[in-house]
Amino acid sequence: MLDHGAAPPSTDAPAAGGPRPGRGLMRRKPVEALVAEGGQGEGGSLKRSLGMWQLTMISIGATLGTGIFIVLGENIPKAGPAITLSFVIAGLTALFSALSYAELAGTIPVAGSSYSYAYATLGEFIAWICGWCLIIEYGVSVSAVAVGWGQYLNELLDGTIGVTLPDALSAPPGAGGYFNLPALIVVLLAMVFLLGGARESARANTIMVGVKIAALVLFCVIGFMGFKSGNYSDFMPLGTAGVSGAASSLFFSYIGFDAASTAGEEAKNPKRDLPRAIMLSLVIVTALYVLVAVVAVGARPWKQFEGSEAVLSDIMKDVTGQSFWATLLAACAVIAIASVVLTVLYGQTRILFAMSRDGLVPKVFAKVSPRTGTPVANTVIVSVFCGVLAAAVPLGELANATSIGTLFAFALVNVAVVVLRCTRRDMPRTFRVPLGWVIPILGFLSCGYLMWNLPGVTWKYFGYWMAAGLVIYFGYGYRRSRLATASQK
């Protein structure tokens, strides 16, 4: 789906006369300016070192992890055997948005992901809201994933040396403990990898992704030996409401397929490789999710998933009657979930890098080390914040907060595709969403549908988060953004 043509001169220049209420909120950053700034930071530049395969592994690494190893067990009691439909609904929602991401990533290959896409199409205020939602998607999801890592670490310790960490040190307040030390440790380990450089981090992630895919295939092979078709006799015991509710929560499992778009300024050939990486990663992840869910419910009655944490390991232990396979899977899960922390943390630092370069957050987030080509201070600040959050907040609240922020950002991406097609019709695109505006509109509506099905308490916390974001924007970013200062000269 190629679209060639010369791009017309940009009409998105900042308005003269300085930022005025209303008008300043709509100022847009020209696409050409976004692309021209690619890689540039304070004191150094990001290095273009990632190919298509590495970008695909980044997206798979950011997606495939806690959603299937942990959140699966929490959501089967909501939908019963129809959990497979919940995965399909969440996957279709992700697919619609993935197509929109692929078009924009090939057109505007920059580090800010949907934040930058919104800045070029919907204006600075909407871009800020999108960026603020991405902080939930990436920053908070790092914390949520880190919480799940500790659960499988305990399973591994129990299966190897017969010792587990006490709840006081392996669970956050409200979940039976005081401080989740493993969650903090895995975030800090990911920070060390990221400080070494994007290429080195990508290599480590590729190895970990291979391990986690092998672990899930192993689970399916062993779990199928205990498959009982009778477990599907009452396929939808909780009705469509249960399927929809589980789908809204399971959307957390798909968060991360857009991670490749945050690497737009470190990709060797971003216009060609980013769309391919996004779509390929989503296809692989969805196929694995549905297969694992089918096998899991076939091997264990759905009512027995209530209260189970390391659910895949438990099923392997039940089927084989041996702890070895469960321990092996727990070891793979520890590695798999660590790769999610690594890649999602990477995405968060690159989004803040782009926002800082635009002046919407402090300059410290855009400072790049000339030696490693990485935003060092940015990485350390984000890692410490996410680590402390993971150690102090239960997984369930983090997962739901992540889902609503991501769905909101995805909805804006679908709108951005339509707007850019209207305002910059002749801009070269290496990929186009099929069926015209139909897919972006379906993507927008499906995101709204899943948001509607999230619990009221999630909406309440989301409202608090957005209110805090507005205070920061109008107190700092509105007048300090580069477009605002440029218009005042």
pLDDT score, position 4: 37
Backbone angles phi, psi at 389, to 5 degrees: -60, -45
Residue located via tokens 């399927």: 243
Residue located via tokens 């996410």: 386
Indicate the SS3 state at residue 429. strand
Query: CA–CA separation, 261 vs 137, rounded Å?
Result: 14
Query: CA–CA separation, 266 vs 51, rounded Å?
Result: 9
Backbone angles phi, psi at 429, to 5 degrees: -130, 130
Q: Within 13 Å, how many C-alpha atoms sit on residue 422's CB side?
A: 8
Helix (H) or strand (E) holding 85, with range, is helix 83-107
pLDDT score, position 90: 82
pLDDT score, position 23: 59
Helix (H) or strand (E) holding 378, with range, is helix 376-392
Six token digits for residue 363 = 């300059």
- Look up residue 410 and give its amino acid: F
Six token digits for residue 72 = 């699966």
Backbone angles phi, psi at 45, to 5 degrees: -130, 150
Contacts of 297 (CB under 8 A, 6+ apart): 76, 81, 83, 84, 231, 232
pLDDT score, position 6: 36
Confidence (pTM): 0.75
| Number of CB atoms found within 10 A of residue 122's CB | 19
Contacts of 388 (CB under 8 A, 6+ apart): 184
Q: Is 334 exposed, middle or buried (0-12, 13-18, 19+ CB in 10 A)?
A: buried
Query: CA–CA separation, 71 vs 61, rounded Å?
Result: 16
* C-alpha pair distances (Å), 364 with each of 90, 234, 435, 461: 37, 56, 43, 28
Task: Give the distance from CA 418 to its chain's centroid.
Answer: 23
Query: What residues form DSSP beta bridges with 42?
Result: 367
pLDDT score, position 9: 38
Contacts of 186 (CB under 8 A, 6+ apart): 146, 149, 150, 337, 338, 341
Conformation bin of residue 9: beta by default, left when phi > 0, alpha when psi is -120 to 50: beta
**DSSP characters over 292-356:** HHHHHHHHS-GGGGTT-SSHHHHHHHHHHS-HHHHHHHHHHHHHHHHHHHHHHHHHHHHHHHHHH
* C-alpha pair distances (Å), 25 with each of 115, 121, 421: 15, 12, 21
Query: CA–CA separation, 243 vs 86, rounded Å?
Result: 5
Tell me the pLDDT of the chain (489 aa) as tens digits: 334 333 333 434 444 444 454 556 677 777 677 667 665 666 666 667 778 888 888 888 777 776 676 667 777 888 888 888 888 888 887 888 888 888 887 777 777 777 888 888 888 888 888 888 888 777 777 776 777 677 778 778 877 777 777 777 766 666 666 777 888 888 888 888 888 776 777 778 888 888 888 888 888 888 888 888 888 888 888 888 888 888 877 776 777 777 777 777 777 787 778 888 888 888 888 888 888 888 988 888 877 777 665 677 778 888 888 778 778 877 887 887 788 888 888 888 888 888 888 888 888 888 887 777 788 889 999 888 888 877 776 655 556 667 777 788 888 888 888 888 888 777 777 778 888 788 888 888 888 887 887 777 778 878 888 888 889 888 887 888 777 776 655
CB 342 within 8 A of CB 330: no
Contacts of 313 (CB under 8 A, 6+ apart): 152, 155, 326, 327, 329, 330, 333
* Beta strand segments in 326-433, E: none
Query: CA–CA separation, 258 vs 43, rounded Å?
Result: 28
Say how many Å lie between the first and final Cα of the chain, rounded: 42
